[in-house]
Amino acid sequence: MPDLDLRASDDERDRAVAQLRDASVQGRLTLEELAERTGRAHQARTRAELQAVLADLPSALASPTATDDEPERHFAALSSIERIGRWNVPRRARFTAVLGSVRLDLRSAVLPGPEIELELISVLSSAEVLVPEGVEVVLSGGGLLSSQRLDMPASLVPGAPVVHIRTSGALGSVEVRSEPSLSDQLGDHGRQLLGDVMRRSGRRLSRSGGTGQGRIERRRARAARRAAR
């Protein structure tokens, strides 16, 4: 029987999770991908299932280089800070808003390691943080006449990243919640329906003669030909 058909051991699962974390540190996996693959690694029954989780990653990953421990600072006054989609999250970051807003979407972000630290300072401002399902969030701090809200599911993915969030400020609000990404909400069936709608819209547009601007140009051309006769 091939080795890949053998049952995976706890030690092999732990090594696979460690390799996934190293891949995330090097920017090869997003936070959402790391959480999803970590769950699959812990549930793998055979070596073949473990290999499938690591199939598109190098077999040996170099250790990350040491970086400055100072937090990366961002400031918004009468303005907003927004980070969405695939973006590189610093290991430590401080976001300060005065009469402004901060919105951080970590669902497709690239993490620098298994743990990150975010400091949110809100003065007459609001802050919102979205994290993928299964990720652990540690929320601490507070503020003067301020509010903080944590809305996370009870279940966690073993070995998933940990996001430490510390809040402070005055007359501000902070909300941290878990929410599936748009692709997860749609699912395969939803994406197929969306594609069908787009294709049907394209066919109707083609049968109607293109865009409204195109029809106007053709009418002008016909009028010019009639005037020239």
* 31 and 102 assigned to the same domain: no
pLDDT in tens, the chain (229 residues): 347 788 988 888 888 888 887 887 778 888 788 888 888 888 899 999 999 999 998 875 444 444 456 899 999 989 999 999 999 999 999 999 999 999 999 999 998 888 999 999 999 999 999 998 888 999 999 888 899 999 998 888 877 889 999 999 899 999 999 987 665 555 555 556 666 766 766 655 555 555 555 666 777 777 777 777 6
Query: Is this model's pTM higher than 0.75 or not?
Result: no
Q: How far is CA 92 from CA 95, 163, 164, 165, in A?
A: 10, 10, 9, 10
* 50 and 133 assigned to the same domain: no
**In-domain check, residue 67:** no
Please say which residue of 158, 178, 198 terminates a domain.
Answer: 178
**In-domain check, residue 118:** yes
Stated as kind and residue range, the H or E segment containing 200 is helix 182-207
* 81 and 101 assigned to the same domain: yes
Please say which residue of 178, 194, 211 terminates a domain.
Answer: 178
* 157 and 118 assigned to the same domain: yes
Question: Concatenated DSSP letters for 116-132?
Answer: EEEEEEEES-EEEEEE-
* 124 and 200 assigned to the same domain: no
Residue from 88, 22, 87, 11 nearest 54 by CA? 22
* 79 and 169 assigned to the same domain: yes
Report how far residue 156's alpha carbon sits from residue 137's, in angstroms, rounded to the nearest whole number: 10
* 98 and 130 assigned to the same domain: yes
Domain span at 196: 182-228
**In-domain check, residue 192:** yes
* 173 and 189 assigned to the same domain: no
Share of the chain residues as helix, strand and coil, in percent rounded to the nearest 5 = 35, 30, 35
* 174 and 76 assigned to the same domain: yes
Our count of domains for the chain comes to 3
**In-domain check, residue 168:** yes
